[in-house]
Structure 1
Amino acid sequence: MARIAHLSDIHFGANDPNIVAATIDWLKEKQPDLVIISGDLTQRARESQFQDAADYLHALRENGHKLLVIPGNHDIPLYDVFRRFASPLGRYKRHIAQDLCPWVETDEVAVLGINTARSLTIKDGRINEEQMQLIRQRFKGVAPNKTRILVTHHPLFELPIGQGNELSEAVGRHRDALRAIADAGVHLTLAGHFHRTYAEAASKMVAEVGPTLVIQAGTATSTRLRNQEPQSFNWLHVEQGNRMELQVIVWNGEDFQRASHVGFSLKGRRWHSEQLATQEMAADEFSEPDYR
C-alpha cells in the first residue's frame, strides 16, 4: 500500500504561516511515501514568493519526503506582461524544478505530473498534443498491478463544484485529454485550482474515459477560501489499482485533524464509494467535502 499526501494551492504570498508550519509537522509525523503538490505554489509568481516556496520544499525534503511538484496558473506572472510571455515559468524553473512534467514510479504506483498552466490564459489551463503523447508513453510500460496516477493543476473534467449548479471549467482540449488517459489506463487524476474538495468516478460524468477516479484537493494553506471550506489536503492509501481510501485532513483553527473518510473500490471499469468511519473529528465540524 502506498501512502500519498496530496496538497495543492499553497499560494505563498497569500498564505497563513501557522498553517504552513502545521503541514510540515503533520507530514513529518505521518511520513507518507510520496508528497504531491498540484500547483499554485505562489500567489503572484514573485521572486520572494518562489523563494518561500523553495524553502518550504527544502524543509519537506529535509524531513525525508519524496516530492512530485507541478506549477499552476498563479506561478506564471500576471502583471509583468513581458515576463509572462517571454519566460512564463522561468522563476518556477529556477527556484522549484526544471522538469514541468515530473515522473515518480515505485513498486506500487506510477505518477506523472503534467503542466497545464499557460501564458495566454489568466486562470484556465490547457493540455497539448505532446503532453497527451507523453501520458500514453509514460504509462505504456507500467506493470498492470501498479496504480497509475496523473497529476494536473487544472481539472481535466467539468466538475459540479461551481456556484449553484454550475459546472467548473475543464482544461482546453479536454476531450482529447480524456482519450489519452483512457488509452493509458489512468486510475486516479489528482488536481486542485478551485480550492474545493471533490471525489467522483469519471465514468459517471463522461463516457469512454476508462477506470479513472477524479480527486480534487482544497487549498492547503491559502487565506483565499471559497464557499467557507477550510484549508485542507488529501491523505490517500492506494492499494495496487483496485482499491483506495481517501481522507481529508482539515485545519480546525489550531491544527490539522482527520475528517471525512471514504473508500473506493474498482469493480470492472467503475469506481464505487463507501463511507468509512471518520477519526478524530466529527463531520459536522467543517464544510463537508463533495463525495458524489
Structure 2
Amino acid sequence: MARIAHLSDIHFGANDPNIVAATIDWLTEKRPDLVIISGDLTQRAREKQFQDAADYLGALRQNELPLLVIPGNHDVPLYDVFRRFASPLGRYKRYIAHDLCPWVETDEVAVLGINTARSLTIKDGRINEQQMQLIRQRFNNVTPDKTRILVTHHPLFALPIGRGNELGEAAGRHQDALQAINDAGIHISLAGHFHRTYAEAARKMVAAAGPTLVIQAGTATSTRLRNQEPQSFNWLHVQPGNQMELQVIVWNGDDFQRASHVGFVLEGDEWHSENLSTQPMTTDDSLTADHR
C-alpha cells in the first residue's frame, strides 16, 4: 500500500505561517511514501515567495519526505509582463525544480506531473500535444499491477466549484487530454486550483474518461478561502490497481484533524465509493483496508 499526501495551492505570500508549520509537523509524523504538491506554490511568483516555498520544500526533504511538485498559474508572474512572457517559469525553475513534468515510480504506484500553467491564459490552464504524448509514453511500460496517477494543477474535468451547480473551467484541450489519459489507463487524476475538495468517478462526468477517479485538493495553507471551506489536504492510501481510501485532513483553527473518510473500489472501468467516516480508526490513527 502506498500512502500519499496530496497538497495544493499553498500560496506563499498569502499563507498562514502557523498552518505551514503544522503541515510540516503532520507530514513528518505520518511519513507518507510520497508528498504531492499540485501547483500554486506562490501568490504572485515573486522572488521572496519562491524563496519561502523553497525553504518549505527543503524542510520536507530534510525530514526525508519524497516530493513530486508541479507549478500552477500563480507561479507565473501576473504584473511583471516582460518576465511573464520571456521567462514565465524562470523563478520556479531556479528555486523549485527544472523538471516541469516530474515522474515518480515505486513498486506500487507510477505518478506523472504535468505542467498546465501558461503565460497567455492568466488563471486558466492548458495541456498541449507534446504533454499528451508524454502521458502515453510514460505509462506505456508500467506494469498492470501498479496504480497510475496523473497530477495537474488545473483539473481536466469541469468540476463543481461552489455550493450550487456552478462548474469550473477545465484545462484547455481537456477533451483531447481525456483521450490520452484513457489510452494511458490512468487510475487517479489529482489536481487543485479551485481551493475545493472533491472526489468522483470520471465516468459519472464524461463517458469516455476511462477508469479514472478524479480527486481535487483544497488549499493547504492559503488565507484565500472559497465557499468558507477551511484549509485542508488529502491523505490517500492506495492499494495497487483497484482500491484506495481518501481522507481529507482539515485545519480546525489550532491543528489538523481528520474529516471525511471515503473508500473507493475499481470494478471494471468504474470507481465505486463507500462512506467510511463513521467507522473507527486503528490505534495508530492510520487508514487501512481493514476499514472496509
Same fold? TM cut 0.5: yes
Q: Deviations over 1:109-156 (max 9, x none)?
A: 000000000000110000000000000000000000000000000000
Match of 1:259 in 2: 259
Q: Which residue identity lines up with residue 273 of structure 2 in the other structure?
A: S
CA contact (8 A) 1:257 1:280 kept: no
Match of 1:110 in 2: 110
Q: Distance in 2 between matches of 1:133 and 1:267?
A: 27
* RMSD over aligned Cα atoms: 1.2
Match of 1:142 in 2: 142
Q: Distance in 2 between matches of 1:280 and 1:102?
A: 36
Match of 1:247 in 2: 247
Match of 2:273 in 1: 273
CA contact (8 A) 1:70 1:114 kept: yes
Extract unaligned runs of 5+ from structure 2: 282-292
- Residue aligned with 2:84, SS: helix
Extract unaligned runs of 5+ from structure 1: 282-292
Q: Deviations over 1:66-112 (max 9, x none)?
A: 00000000000000000000000000000000000000000000000
Q: Distance in 1 between matches of 2:278 and 2:228?
A: 21
Q: Deviations over 1:23-81 (max 9, x none)?
A: 00000000000000000000000000000000000000000100000000000000000
Shift of 1:9: 0.2
Is the aligned partner of 1:6 residue 2:9? no
Shift of 1:13: 0.1
CA contact (8 A) 2:70 2:102 kept: yes
Q: Distance in 1 between matches of 2:208 and 2:75?
A: 33
Match of 2:212 in 1: 212
CA contact (8 A) 2:162 2:227 kept: no
Q: Distance in 1 between matches of 2:227 and 2:260?
A: 17
Q: Distance in 2 between matches of 1:102 and 1:3?
A: 19
- Residue aligned with 1:27, SS: helix
Q: Which residue identity lines up with residue 38 of structure 2 in the other structure?
A: S
Q: Distance in 1 between matches of 2:280 and 2:44?
A: 36
Match of 1:284 in 2: none
1:9-28 correspondence runs (5 A): 9-28=9-28
1:1-292 correspondence runs (5 A): 1-162=1-162, 164-278=164-278
Report sequence identity in percent. Answer: 86
TM-score (norm 2): 0.95
Q: 1:147 to 1:159 in 2, by over 3 A?
A: same
How many residues matched? 281
CA contact (8 A) 1:6 1:235 kept: yes
Shift of 1:167: 1.1
